Amino acid sequence: MEVKSERTEYLFPKLIDEACKLKEKFGAGGRFLAGGTDLLLLLDQLNEKPKALIDINRIPELKTFTISDSLVTIGAAVTYNEILENNELCQQLPFLEKAIRSIGGVQVRNMATLVGNIANASPAGDSLPALYVLKAKVCTTDGTNQREIAIEDFILGVRKINLKPNELISHIKFKLPKPAFHGEFEKIGLRKAMAISLVSLALLISLDELKIDEIYIALGSVAPTVVNVGGLDAIIGKPLNQKTIAEIVAIAANNAKPIDDVRGSAEYRRMAITGMVKRSLNKFIDKN
Ligand SMILES: Cc1cc2nc3c(=O)[nH]c(=O)nc-3n(C[C@H](O)[C@H](O)[C@H](O)COP(=O)(O)OP(=O)(O)OC[C@H]3O[C@@H](n4cnc5c(N)ncnc54)[C@H](O)[C@@H]3O)c2cc1C
């Protein structure tokens, strides 16, 4: 008896509209491919082979990367290393640079994209906490209509995103924070490099006359999606000292409600959050 093997088509549209039409045509059987550093590993775990891989790298608009009037726009086919080559971005946002440099090795960063990290919607996506505190918007298109969605409303759960069947993510955008802001990024894993994060943290803070003016903290790898720490309004207007740091640490640890999994217990994660928040805020005090 002849066994028919299902082939996966490899397609490379040159227009956004064409890519969206292909996605609509293949439905759940069609997968966009950017760097492929998540997708190609995932293929082995899928019950069914995809009918089509739709490579988006030949669509010129998706390679757009601009900083204009403090607005940063990063296209879906822009790789991590292309972002790291931008001195302005790295100077203005060293904490985002640190987050990106922590992802994989040089070879992975040569292929992989920031948008792929978002679309993959893993709780351990290391760029995500930084994008949450920057209040990044995810911009989608079906070739005709565009949507702009706050990142926390776009990532709905583990590998669940707010994307329609005929849409792709075209780019992300966010405003550069004012110079008064200081950002930090930290992550810990079971080893120092090439490891899935156990906890990651991004923090943005600004002071006004030595009092806390604004503060945002996001935690990764502690829940199905990144946790935007709420309740920090309570410390606005207070001086940044060891007493307020203890208050912030308690708010972050209570907010996170960390998970137990194979990489670490909830208790370990809670202790890690405590240490990471404390260390990040003390670094800021040392700089002032
Ligand atoms: C050795 C190794 C080390 C790694 N280390 C880390 C690490 O330290 N931290 C970390 O966070 N990640 C890590 N990763 C995972 C991966 O590199 C990142 O998540 C990366 O950002 C994915 O980007 P990509 O362009 O390769 O995405 P792809 O693999 O091309 O795509 C990922 C998913 O997003 C979808 N997609 C891609 N682009 C779009 C679009 N424009 N619109 C809609 N859907 C889209 C794809 O269909 C797929 O489902 C590692 C991977 C490897 C292989």
| Digit-coded pLDDT (tens) for 130-159 | 999 999 999 999 999 999 999 999 999 999
Domains and CATH numbers, the chain: 9-55 (3.30.43.10), 61-175 (3.30.465.10), 195-287 (3.30.390.50)
Residue nearest to atom 33 of ligand 1 (CA): 120
Dihedral of CA 88/89/92/97: which sign? negative
SS (H, E, C) 224-249: CCCEECCCHHHHCCCECCHHHHHHHH
Cα(83) to centroid(ligand 1), Å = 15
Residue 4: pLDDT over 60: no
| Digit-coded pLDDT (tens) for 17-37 | 999 999 999 999 999 999 999
Q: Who has greater pLDDT, 208 or 3?
A: 208
| Digit-coded pLDDT (tens) for 233-275 | 999 999 999 999 999 999 998 888 777 777 778 888 888 999 9
Q: 172 CB contacts (<8 Å, ≥6 apart)? A: 73, 74, 114, 115, 118, 131, 136, 137, 138, 139, 151
Pocket around ligand 1: residues whose beta carbon is below 6 Å from it? 31-39, 41, 56, 76, 102-104, 108, 111-113, 115-117, 119-120, 124-126, 163, 168-169, 194
Q: What's the whole-model pTM score?
A: 0.95
Q: Residues 144, 167: contact at Cβ < 8 Å?
A: no
Beta strand residue intervals within the chain, DSSP E: 9-11, 30-33, 52-55, 65-68, 71-75, 137-141, 146-150, 155-157, 160-161, 168-175, 182-189, 197-208, 211-220, 227-228
Cα(125) to centroid(ligand 1), Å = 9
The CA distances from residue 36 to 53, 109, 210, in Å, are: 10, 11, 46
Tokens 């001086």 correspond to 239
Q: What is the pLDDT of residue 3?
A: 42
